[in-house]
Structure 1
Amino acid sequence: MKVGLLLNPQKAGGLNTLLALRVALESRGCECVLERKTAQLAGENEGIYAREFPDQVDIAAVLGGDGTMMHAVSRFGDFRKPVAGINIGTLGFLTTCTDAELDDFAEAVATGTFNISVRMLLKATVSRKNGEEETYYGLNEVTMARGETGRLVTLKAKIDGEWLNRYRADGLIVATPTGSTAYSLSAGGPLIAPQSSVMVITPICPHSLSQRSLVVSDDVEVEISPERADDGPMIFTVDGRDTTRIDPGDRVTVVKAERSFHLLRLEGTSFYEALRQKLGWQGV
């Protein structure tokens, strides 16, 4: 088993976790391949680019938090193999284990005793008024929000070409079930189990309380566009990572991507356990 390792260099103690993980994996017969910058942090010259992971490794292990995992989605490209997250962050909805469970993780990888949670990806296409197009992929959500102005903006949303609503708000989020625990949740959206075949559209601080989150099937096309030219340019982001300016006349279409994200889970863990742990649910 060849395991690709990618470390977020901003995480305190990350290098120690990386070295301990490498020892745990190699002691069980796994071969470790370090991403180029990760190798440099470890004092080594040999490493591969993240975009080479699809052809070079069997499993990717990302050391960091949820943000590191989402960034890895972009860096790996079309990676359809298991991705594990080693949590040295805070919340960790997307991570497989903590840095205190490295031996358990290494044993699971070496013996193949793990589960795969298939997660939906979004494909967002920005269509400019001059005919140019840009394509982005996201694991959590895409967001169109007000730019430099502090005022509310007006956004028009369509579903499969049918007019849905005119939102007067700070912005609009289109999220996957995975992203339902992130920005959409903070904006008042519902929690959605990851295996659900849906997307959720959530307005950010809407002017009217009647404008609520809407859950739609994942086989539809959602189109978002600025409604008023005097709102000025807006900001479009994907997983809080890729950022581009949206001008009046531009539009964004969002669909379910043709590929998915394969999140590695240790046996005995589940999304519902993560909810109880991360959200502090105690029951009655």
Structure 2
Amino acid sequence: MKKRTIAIYGREFNPSVIPYVQQLFSYLKDKEVAIYIHADFYKFLQTKIKCADDLLLYYNYRDLPENTLFFLSLGGDGTMLSAVSQVRDSNIPIAGINFGRLGFLASIHKTEIATALDAIFDNNYKLQTRELLQVTGHDQHIFGEENFALNDITIFRHGSSPMITINVTLDGELLNSYWADGIIIATPTGSTAYSLSCGGPIIMPGSGNFVITPIAPHNLNVRPIIISADSRLELEIESREEQYIVSCDSKTETLSTNTKLKIERAPFNINLIRLETVSYFSTLREKLLWGLDVRNY
């Protein structure tokens, strides 16, 4: 019988989770699953656990076979964001085992690995389609092939410079000139991340919207605004330092204020695996502590 094939990606982790990682690989060995593992992560694992000899290495998304059932991310939400660059437009669904703290994206608890993977292999799960953002510069190719973001694209002032001015045009019409430390353009997935901490709203995945959230705006009347995901944004930045910083999830670049940006929906989506016992609202209640009142404890 042909082996089922999965891919595994991760980053360096705390020694406290080594038993769970060992449990994962023992489980997959018992299930006779063929494993493609990221080469850099494999080098790290060899220093922490006893690795099987039959693991297959991959270096980037081009190396993943078409018959990959799913992509398994080991770590926290930051690792899940990096995993998107490993999957790209392959349509391979992503599941995350949470070795981090919050776990909005990496939804499988480390103590429930076997139960969760049993359900996935038995097709007892749902796929959540998530939209991404894409950023391009008018005069340079920023972020190379990884110019897309699952959470957000953010513009920051550079260093200790005073606030910057960000002139934002939406579908050819001036939206606003933001005097602020920066702005966040977030997807529904990213609406519960940095944007939320800056006062942005929570947006349900699949709603067909993005949100623009200013960071410490000079004019307090400037509030976050929800826009259509079909919108095309063009940004021009003014700063005394003649530089600014743009981040694309966990990636950052420093650009000249001569560089104009275009931000729009990426040409592909990614699919997150969600178990039948997990829902978007249950995740919100758990992670944001909705409904809890310290007076009841």
TM-score between both structures, scaled by the size of structure 1:
0.92
Partner in structure 2 of residue 20 of structure 1:
23
Q: Helix, strand or coil for the counterpart of 1:24?
A: helix
Give how far 1:260 is off: 0.5
Q: Secondary structure at the match of 2:212?
A: strand
CA distance in 1, matches of 2:93, 2:86: 15
Partner-residue secondary structure (3-state), 2:220: coil
Segments ≥4 residues shifted beyond 4 Å: none
The correspondence for 1:232, drawn from 233, 239, 242, is: 242
What residue in structure 2 maps to residue 97 of structure 1? 108
Alignment of 1:214-229 (within 5 A): 214-226=225-237, 228-229=238-239
Aligned partners of 2:8, 2:269: CA distance in 1, in Å?
20
Q: Deviations over 1:38-72 (max 9, x none)?
A: 32233357522242236462211001000011011
Contact (CA 8 Å) 1:30, 1:110: kept in 2 or not? no
Corresponding residue SS for 1:19: helix
* Partner AA of 2:73 in structure 1: V
Aligned to 1:187: 198
1:103: Cα distance to partner? 1.1
**Does the aligned pair in 1 maintain the 2:151–2:190 contact within 8 Å?**
yes
Aligned to 1:133: 141
Q: Verify the 8 A CA contact 1:26 1:32 in the aligned structure 2.
A: no
- Per-residue deviation, 1:198: 0.4
SS in 1 for 2:254: strand
Q: Which consecutive residues of structure 2, in runs of 5 or more, have no partner in the other structure?
A: none
Identify the match of residue 82 of structure 1 among 77, 88, 93. Answer: 93
Residue 264 of structure 2: aligned partner: 255
Q: Identity rate of aligned residues, in percent?
A: 32
Moved more, 177-186 or 147-156: 147-156
Q: Deviation digits for residues 176-217 of structure 1, max 9, x if unmatched?
A: 000000010011100111121001000001011111100001
Could you tell me how far 1:271 is from its partner in structure 2? Answer: 0.9
Residue of structure 1 in register with 2:277 after alignment = 268
TM-score by length of 2: 0.88
Of 173, 188, 193, the residue aligned with 2:184 is 173
User: Cα RMSD over matched residues?
Assistant: 1.9
1:236-247 aligned at under 5 Å gives the runs 236-239=246-249, 241-247=250-256
- Whole-angstrom distance in 2 between the partners of 1:245 and 1:216: 26
CA distance in 1 between partners of 2:227 and 2:120 (Å): 36
Q: Is the 8 A contact 2:151 2:191 kept in 1?
A: yes
Q: C-alpha separation between the residues in 1 aligned to 2:90 and 2:21?
A: 21
In 1: Cα distance, 2:31 partner to 2:276 partner: 18
Equivalences, count: 279
Q: Which region of structure 1 is more displaced relative to structure 2, 249-258 or 62-71?
A: 249-258
Q: 1:178, 1:247 → 2: CA distance?
A: 29
Whole-angstrom distance in 2 between the partners of 1:162 and 1:230: 25
Distance 1:190 1:270 in 2: 19
How far is the alpha carbon of 1:249 from its aligned partner? 2.1
- Residue deviations 1:156-188, cap 9 Å, x none? 001011100000000011000000000100111
